[in-house]
Structure 1
Amino acid sequence: MEERKEHYKRTLLDLANRKDLVPGIYNYCDRWCDRCTMTQKCLTYLHEQENKIDEDSQNPDEENKNFWEQIRLAWEVTMEMIEEDADKEGIDLSDVEDFELPEHIETPLEVQARDYGINIHKWMKDHKDLFSDKAEKLVMIDDDESMFKYRDAAEVIQWYSAFIGAKVHRAHLELEQRKNDPNDEYGLYADNLGSAKIAIIAIKRSMDALSVFYSGFSEMEDEILQFLLELSQIKKQMLKTFPGVMEFKRPGFDD
């Protein structure tokens, strides 16, 4: 265990010193590494690959064990590095005053974005048999192009279902306080803008994917239109709440 922790820490520090990586590129991405073209510039991705544990896909218990092991390693190494840096700066962490984070009250927009994720996930699950039947018919007529199109659209919808709500929520954390801080010494408002921008990008991609389903599943047009309406409303309100947000430059992606 100790050897694994040392490897985890050493590879993290080695990657942090590489000049070819883009600092902070992982902060405002969509976490979809399999679809990303910038993985070789990303510390988070490369570090995960360096510390990847071979998993037995047929053994969910082992897979879960490995997942929690990675969480434990991340926590222990992070705390160890914080203590080392504090010691260098002469800071006694045992003497740091307690403080309370301000309570966050969800906005109606955050609730709407979260509910969209819950509802679209349930909708996809409830109609999986219908989607499977559609795929079988496309296979029978050798229409691979359409089959791949619907498959990709389904993957997009599912990937961003919970992601949108999470990023809309993060974009609203301490929003007024950060937006109205004339100093903003640590650039905290940039985190709101970055989170808002990737949320809007995810909304646009989800709307494009739902439009693919709309053109191919006439029996579900009303339901799909409702989801498109909800996403359109969320996007419109996000653009209103964060004026100029699409001009924000995400490291590595918008430079």
Structure 2
Amino acid sequence: MSLGQQLHPHLPFLRRYARALTGDQIHGDAYVRATLEAIVAAPEEFPAGVDPRLGLYKIFHAIWSSSHLDDGPAVIGPDGQEAIAQARLGRLTPLPRQALLLTALEGFTIEDVAYLISMDADEVEALVEEALSAIESQTRAKVLIIEDEPIIAMDIETIVRDLGHEVTAIAVTREDAVREAMAQRPGLVLADIQLADDSSGIDAVKDILGEFSVPVIFITAFPERLLTGERPEPTFLITKPFQRSTVKAAISQALFFDEATAPA
């Protein structure tokens, strides 16, 4: 099996991570594209003796760490042709949050993350604890949940409330979601893709975003269907079935970027 064939199943999930890391689909996808260009240009430099997914994320992190340090365009890629417009420094994801995303969202072990970011396992554990502590002090938000499965909706509601956020409503259809969003504007939306009346959570979110801006986390059992690299697509995405830690990390990261861009 070729290297490309080995890496292909992992690309949707690298896109998910890159978007969560950068808080933006365009920038996240640009880093993924630069990673693939680097691999194509020098396949012999792909990490040997490790799982292909681990090697893919290792190349990604090498590019991320070497190109996101300046507040301005960074030119990367084998031919120097790929320019990624950088967010301001306040929007850059700090190392503790990177460690949390890699463990909670992507499911890597502490040892895997230590390899990916070139640190000791003890240091990674300390970073994750630091990120979790930061979550506790995060600004509280009003959250709209769009989910038609009662048990899943209750589980999400519990997680959201345990984090100290307020649940404004649980909507089960597109129409319900839009009505509830207009009645009490949420600071965050968590949306399932397929809703009770065969309406779409994506369409519901588009309707809401047509009225006001709000960070959105999509929840789906088939993330690869939404992570093709085309636009528009979700920036934050949780896979069903999910772990509580995954939802917690995604909520925190979405609000992190929302707070970073809020007027002072």
TM range, smaller chain: under 0.3
Give the TM-score normalised by structure 1. 0.24
Q: Greater helix share, 1 or 2?
A: 1
Give the TM-score normalised by structure 2. 0.24
Q: Greater strand share, 1 or 2?
A: 2
Which structure: larger Rg?
A: 1
Q: Which has the higher contact order (CA 8 A, sep 6+)?
A: 1
